[in-house]
Chain A
């Protein structure tokens, strides 16, 4: 289990120089010795601050020039002192940071004033994802994010390594993990791998996953689709705004304030839409024996691995306007995967997908036939219209031998699926109003926060059937 602890490094360590930051050095051969990150990393991490400084100084200089004066020394002095400071800081930080392998644990140290150390048992590593922010792309650096199976903060990251070193470290960590799992059997807790899918695959071959050859590409998102779906609300919003404005003018009402509001909300919406297009650009979903491999991003590239057995629940979501173009998005919950701050992005399996792709992916994950499932969805009983007057027609549920499926949502349609084997607990709830009509709602609790599976407004007998069925099937399959 990764643990965070803040300790001062013992003095003896400074006498032992980190002796390996060359690409060729394998972690296993240099066990116990610290490996350094790329010397440029502290500067990269301070990237935004640095940019701000440059902009401020440049602004000052340009301002002076524009007023026809020779720039004073002030800006230059600030610039020189600033870069000196950054340089010294970077140098110190570089020597104090690093990672090493100690007895099957990956240890990472960071910080100058507040030092921190985190250790991750190699056997617990779920995936090693590659992220490449824009600035890092220019200089050929990447960030490695090590995701470990645990609750709590499960991610440690190595910022930054150059591309060759990163791919070497990545493949070595994965190889070490597999070897360590074989010897310690630490992944006993996981569900058994599907037949024909050996869970302990040998380590990925070297190479940044973008060029990884053996992951078969199963789905791609056309950038046109991405832009269309992001732009739909604007198109509709613009039409409504123009019609509204036309009416108002026809009636002789002043529309100045209205125009300002529309323009500003349009601009802020456009920024959000542009961001969503940016992070999902060139989205590509690969599949190999461990699970999915996601590649995406325009300005910063992201490469993420999703281990198939750790998918806990799936949500197929269709916002109202997406019905016009018949597209949906697929989101998933992954056990123990926090994906730091951008969880909205890391829980997306497909940002935009046509029905055929959705069905194919659902079949891959759950081995269920989506069209057959949708056909056999049992609608909510008539009484449900008193409990949910608008949305009761959208409600539907079906339970197969392996999976619970629930559909809901009047405007934004959702189809939630969860393997029964992944269910943690069930809750049957009934409010006073529901009681009048003999209805109850069943909540099926799965790990993760993306999908909250609930079967709303079923007759009590149905609720009890759902409970008993998933309970009986819930018996562990692992001896």
Chain B
């Protein structure tokens, strides 16, 4: 039985650009590690080792491609009447539920790469440090609207400590 909150809310996905970003990052890392490994293996053991590393890397890339696709589908958020739901994870799944009245502040983050891809990360903070409520890589406009809506809702329902 999956961790399934489908019936409770209308889920929205994070930006499609996230897939591009995660895939590119992963592939760059695989290629980088493989290059170092192949050179080292080639010098120390012989050309066969270099070839083996290269083959392994080539096999890893489609695997990573598929994994990122699943990861992207797993990420999602839903605005309900009283709270925000954020789900994530393929193997280890998590649904976080943050009542609007509990939000202390909403944070929006955007790095240089994010700006280029027009995405941003929105994070909700409550008085509890354990609260783990960030939505990565939303389309910039969505992120801004979400932040404004959340801030307004949070203010309207503030319950304090």
Given A432-B92, A471-B83 in contact, is the A424-B97 Cβ separation under 8 Å? Answer: no
Instruction: Flag whether B95 is at the interface (Cβ < 8 A).
Output: yes
Q: Would you call A447 and B161 a contact (CB within 8 A)?
A: yes
Taking a contact as CB atoms under 8 Å apart, the answer to whether B101 and A428 are in contact is no
* Set B5, B82, B97, B157: member contacting A425, Cβ < 8 A: B97
In the complex, A423→B98 CA distance in Å?
Answer: 10
How distant is the Cα of A288 from the Cα of B122 in the complex, in angstroms? 44
When A424-B126, A440-B3, A445-B126 are in contact, do A429 and B161 touch as well, CB less than 8 Å? no
Nearest-Cβ distance from residue A337 to partner chain B, whole angstroms = 11
B141 CB within 8 Å of chain A: no
Binary contact track B111-133/A, C-beta < 8 Å → 1, others 0 = 00000000000000011111111
Residues in B with CB closer than 8 Å to A424 are: 98, 102, 126-128, 130-131
Question: What residues of A have a CB within 8 angstroms of the CB of B25 in the complex?
Answer: none
Q: Is B59 an interface residue (CB 8 A)?
A: no
**B159 close to A (CB within 8 Å):** yes
Say whether A474 contacts B95, CB under 8 Å: no
Interface range on chain A: under 10, 10 to 19, 20 to 34, or 35 or more?
A: 35 or more
CB distance from B101 to the nearest CB of A (A): 5
Interface membership of B26, Cβ < 8 A: no
Nearest B-chain residue to A149, judged by Cβ: B161
Chain B contact residues: helix, strand, loop or mixed: loop
B residues in contact with A431, CB < 8 Å: 91-93
Taking CB atoms, residues of chain A closer than 8 Å to B158 are: 189, 476
Residue of B nearest to A468 (CB): B8
CA distance A246 to B94 in the complex (A): 53
Any B CB within 8 A of the CB of A427: yes
Within the assembled complex, what's the spacing in Å between the Cα atoms of A258 and B112? 60
| B99 at the binding interface (Cβ < 8 Å) | yes
Q: Which 9 pairs, one residue from A and one from B, show the smallest C-beta to C-beta distance?
A: A189-B160, A476-B159, A424-B128, A424-B126, A445-B128, A438-B1, A447-B127, A445-B130, A426-B97
A-B residue pairs in contact (CB < 8 Å), sample of 30 = A151-B104, A188-B160, A191-B160, A336-B161, A422-B161, A424-B102, A424-B131, A425-B128, A425-B133, A427-B95, A427-B96, A427-B132, A428-B97, A429-B94, A430-B94, A431-B91, A432-B91, A435-B1, A445-B130, A445-B131, A447-B128, A448-B128, A460-B1, A464-B5, A464-B8, A475-B82, A475-B99, A475-B157, A476-B101, A476-B157
Known: A426-B96, A471-B82. 10 other contacts (CB 8 A): A151-B104, A151-B127, A310-B161, A335-B161, A425-B97, A425-B128, A427-B132, A432-B91, A435-B2, A438-B1
Chain A contact residues, CB within 8 Å of chain B: 149, 151, 188-191, 310, 312, 335-336, 421-432, 435, 438, 440, 443, 445-449, 452, 460, 464, 467, 471, 474-478
